[in-house]
């Protein structure tokens, strides 16, 4: 980074600390969103923000040309470091790994681009990118940062960033949902799914499941979950039918999309998000790992 960093052993003036704090707080939701989209983990995103803050308080503010861009650069570098560590953790993860679901406010769903970028389906697509490709895609296509800014954040030339962005964009485009589904249609599909599961109506369930639907369940080795994807409408409907009697389903907004919280004995047991293509459910993402359910008691504010 070209801007100067203060020796953190030196005392920080009260006014400088207040200015640093105010600036960080003003951009905190943006920085969290950047980190979360890069990592798919709210816990790791919070760690990144803590590390960003520790570096930010050592910066001489009068040397920073664009404080927002500078903070995004710090966050990106810390997130890239965490992404590589997270990749190693996933290699030993028990069963499918799913992003950590977030309870989001209605205003996230109203921002179509933001809702698409944080959806469970999109976060899983981003999982197929390399760490650098993911960083470039998130910063360019989601947050619309310039190539020069991204180049500084990831220590690449602007020309290299353009090539990486093109490659990542093509990769993501090939794996996006096949058909555009309106928010109203998504809501109707989720409601129909809930009724079918609650009533045990197998035919109604089969009517809204795509023939090649995939169910992923993330228990993390902590709670019972399928260790491999469940594929096909009949197989998925059979799994859902076996557990429906014990379920209490609560509609909610998770990662900008309608979803269902499954409660057992009044406690959150599972979050079920969906990928919907042309009105049919093509993906079901059931997060059961208790360590990933801690952000469902309160709304998380996301910003672009």
Q: What is the DSSP letter of 59?
A: B
pLDDT at 84: 85
Separation CA 118–CA 111 (nearest Å): 11
Per-residue model confidence (pLDDT) at position 281: 94
Nearest to 137 by CA among 121, 115, 157, 122: 122
Q: Which of 46, 38, 55 is nearest to 4 (CA)?
A: 55
Rg (CA), the chain: 21
Burial class of 101 by CB neighbour count within 10 A (0 to 12, 13 to 18, 19+): buried
SS (H, E, C) 152-206: HHHCCCHHHHHHHHHHHHHHHHCCCCCCCCCHHHHHHHHHHHHHHHHHCCHHHHH
- Residue 16: predicted pLDDT: 63
Closest CA to 211 of 242, 232, 187, 197: 232
pLDDT at position 269? 93
d(CA 56, CA 19): 11
262, containing H or E segment: strand 257-264
Q: Are 144 and 119 in contact (CB under 8 A)?
A: no
Tell me what pLDDT residue 163 has.
98
Residues paired with residue 276 on neighbouring β-strands, in sequence order: 281
Q: What is the DSSP secondary structure assignment for residue 11, as one 8-state letter? A: P
Output the pLDDT for position 237. Answer: 93
Residue 58 has, within 13 A of its CA and on its CB side, a CA count of 11
Token digits for 247?
Answer: 């379920």
pTM of the model: 0.89
Q: Are 218 and 293 in contact (CB under 8 A)?
A: no
- DSSP secondary structure of 80-148: HHHHHHHHHHHHT-SS---PPP-BB-HHHHHSHHHHHHHSHHHHHHHTTS-HHHHHHHIIIIIT---HH
Residues 70 and 59 sit within 8 Å (Cβ to Cβ): yes
List the chain pLDDT tens, one digit each, 304 residues: 445 555 444 544 555 667 889 999 999 999 999 999 999 999 999 999 999 999 999 888 888 889 999 999 999 999 999 998 888 888 899 999 999 999 998 888 888 888 889 999 999 999 999 999 999 999 999 999 999 999 999 999 999 999 999 999 999 999 876 666 777 888 899 999 999 998 888 999 999 999 999 999 999 999 999 999 999 999 999 988 876 666 789 999 999 888 999 988 888 999 999 998 888 999 999 999 999 998 888 899 898 8
| Spatial distance between the Cα atoms of 214 and 284, rounded to a whole number of angstroms | 6
d(CA 232, CA 257): 23
Confidence at residue 15, expressed as pLDDT on a 0 to 100 scale: 53
SS3 percent helix, strand, coil of the chain, rounded to 5, is: 55, 15, 30
Sign for the pseudo-dihedral over CA of 229, 234, 240, 242: negative
């Amino acid at each position: 980074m070209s801007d100067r960093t203060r020796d953190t052993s030196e005392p920080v003036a009260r006014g400088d600390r207040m200015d640093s704090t105010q600036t960080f707080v003003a951009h905190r939701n943006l920085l969290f969103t950047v980190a979360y989209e890069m990592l798919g983990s709210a816990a790791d995103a919070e760690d990144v923000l803590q590390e960003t803050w520790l570096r930010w308080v050592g910066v001489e503010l009068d040397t920073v040309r664009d404080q927002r861009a500078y903070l995004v650069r710090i966050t990106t570098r810390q997130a890239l470091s965490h992404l590589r560590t997270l990749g190693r953790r996933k290699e030993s993860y028990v069963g499918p790994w799913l992003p950590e679901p977030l309870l989001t406010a209605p205003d996230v769903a109203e921002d179509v681009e933001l809702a698409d970028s944080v959806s469970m389906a999109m976060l899983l697509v981003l999982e197929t990118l390399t760490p650098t490709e993911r960083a470039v895609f998130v910063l360019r296509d989601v947050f619309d940062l310039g190539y020069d800014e991204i180049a500084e954040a990831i220590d690449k030339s602007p020309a290299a960033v353009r090539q990486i962005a093109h490659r990542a964009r093509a990769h993501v485009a090939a794996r996006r949902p096949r058909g555009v589904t309106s928010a109203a249609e998504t809501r109707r599909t989720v409601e129909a799914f809930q009724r079918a599961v609650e009533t045990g109506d197998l035919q109604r369930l089969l009517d809204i499941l795509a023939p090649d639907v995939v169910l992923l369940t993330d228990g993390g080795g902590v709670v019972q979950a399928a260790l491999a994807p469940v594929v096909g409408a009949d197989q998925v409907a059979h799994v859902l039918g076996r557990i429906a009697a014990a379920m209490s389903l609560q509609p909610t907004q998770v990662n900008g999309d309608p979803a269902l919280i499954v409660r057992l004995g009044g406690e959150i047991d599972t979050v079920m998000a969906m990928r919907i293509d042309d009105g049919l459910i093509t993906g079901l993402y059931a997060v059961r790992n208790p360590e990933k359910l801690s952000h469902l008691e309160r709304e998380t504010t996301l910003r672009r």
